[in-house]
Every structure is written in C-alpha cells, then in structure tokens.
C-alpha cells in the first residue's frame, strides 16, 4: 500500500495524488473518505483510502473543510476527477479518534480490514464544494 500526501496541505496532496490516479481502474475502485468526526461536516478533515484489487493508497489527512476553503476545493476536485473517470463506489468511514490517530502505525492488512469494515455508502455530492 502506498501512503502519500502532506498533512494539512490539500493542494499539494491532490497534486501528488493525480499521477497515481492514472494507474487505477476507476470502475472497480472503492473510494473511502476517512474521518474521526460524525455529524459535523463543516469541520471535518479527511484522509482518502483508494482500493482496487490488490492496489491500495492512503492519503495523509489533507482534505475537507477542516482545512479551510483549500481543503474543501481539493476534496471537491478529487471527487470530480474520480467520478469523471468512472468511480461510483464512494463510502465514508468514521473512526474513533484514537483509531484514526493510529492509522499510520497499522500494517496494510489491519488498516484495510478496519477501513472496509467501518465504511458505509456515501453520496459523493456531500464532498463537492
């Protein structure tokens, strides 16, 4: 699993992610927005977990309104790119803060299992600016 991006830097993380998107098969892709906030989208911070077959990618926490307008716009642009490419399986995983903070210490199998088990269907329109 590849881990990419820069915590708190939405534009830079999105730019680092874009070339990697070209390697993914969008129609089979699971897109999971990972956060530790429930019911407070106006302050949410997201990591994005992309998994398709054996390939998986996790961004740093860099997206969403918790990072201001830049975070909202980067998240909206990412959703637009994914939808344009044919992705349709969008989910959200809300984790307890202690688990969310420990994502970087988890090995790939544990992380994948935790995120897939906690993911619920999500309307990608929720993440559009």
Domains of the chain with CATH codes: 2-127 (3.40.1530.10)
Would the pLDDT of 50 be above 80?
yes
pLDDT digits (tens, 9 = 90+) for 86-125: 999 999 999 999 999 999 999 989 999 999 999 999 999 8
User: Which pTM was predicted?
Assistant: 0.94
Strand order, beta sheet including 89-94? 2-4, 55-59, 47-52, 30-35, 89-94, 119-121
């Amino acid at each position: 699993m590849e881990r990419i991006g820069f915590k708190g830097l939405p534009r830079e993380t999105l730019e680092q992610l874009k070339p990697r998107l070209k390697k993914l098969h969008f129609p089979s892709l699971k897109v999971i927005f990972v956060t530790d906030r429930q019911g407070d989208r106006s302050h949410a911070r997201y990591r994005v977990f992309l998994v398709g077959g054996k390939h998986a990618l996790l961004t740093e926490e860099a997206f969403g309104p918790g990072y201001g307008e830049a975070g909202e716009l980067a998240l909206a642009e990412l959703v637009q790119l994914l939808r344009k490419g044919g992705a349709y399986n969008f989910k959200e995983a809300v984790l307890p803060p202690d688990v969310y903070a420990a994502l970087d210490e988890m090995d790939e199998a544990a992380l994948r299992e935790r995120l897939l088990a906690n993911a619920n269907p999500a309307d990608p329109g929720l993440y559009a600016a």
